[in-house]
Amino acid sequence: MNNEKITVTARRTRFEPPTTNALAANPASPMVLQGVMQILAGLDRKVDALATRPPQEVALPAQPKAEAPAETEKPQDTTALTETPKPKLRINRARLLSFFD
């Protein structure tokens, strides 16, 4: 429900209808029809203009730079300390002593 206050102004004088242009007031008059036709034509032009407009570039509001997350310390590779390094493979010379020509 509309909560706006309704004010009613009492007319102390006799009601007299306002003088109006009979031609203009007639909804079927050619002027009204012409006006409607002009409005429709105007709308038609606007629709055409909207349909053929170039794509709009939307300027986005500048966003505040996201702060880089604080670097977390890499977990130290402790395997090198705990594991003994593999010995470098060498030629097993004892295996070279059984041979043919």
Partner 1 sequence: MMHRRRMKMPDGRLIEPSADALALFLAEHQLAAYAAPPPIDLPRDADGLSSRERDYSTESFDIRKLAGREVTVFGAGSVASHLIYALGPAGLSINVVDPGTVQARHTTGGRTIYDPTQVGLKKVYALKQKIEREFPGTIINALPYHTAEIPDSQIKSLLSRSLVVVLAIDDPDQIIRIGDLSYPTTEFVQPAMHAKGESGHIAVCVPFVTPCLRCTLGIDSAKDITRLDSEPANSLDIAAVAQQAARITLDIAYSKVTGQAITRWDTSKNLIYITNTKQELSPDGPGIRFEGSRRRPGCSICDNLYGRMKGTENE
- Residues lying near partner 1 in the complex (CB under 8 A) are found at 89-91, 93-101
**Cα-based angle 82, 84, 89 (whole degrees, multiple of 5):** 155
Least distance in angstroms from the C-beta of 89 to partner 1: 6
Choose between 21 and 92: whose C-beta lies nearer to partner 1.
92
Shortest gap between Cβ of 85 and partner 1 (angstroms)? 17
Q: Which is nearer to partner 1, 62 or 89 (CB)?
A: 89
Cα 61 to Cα 33, 57, 64, 89, 97: the distances in Å are 46, 12, 9, 64, 81
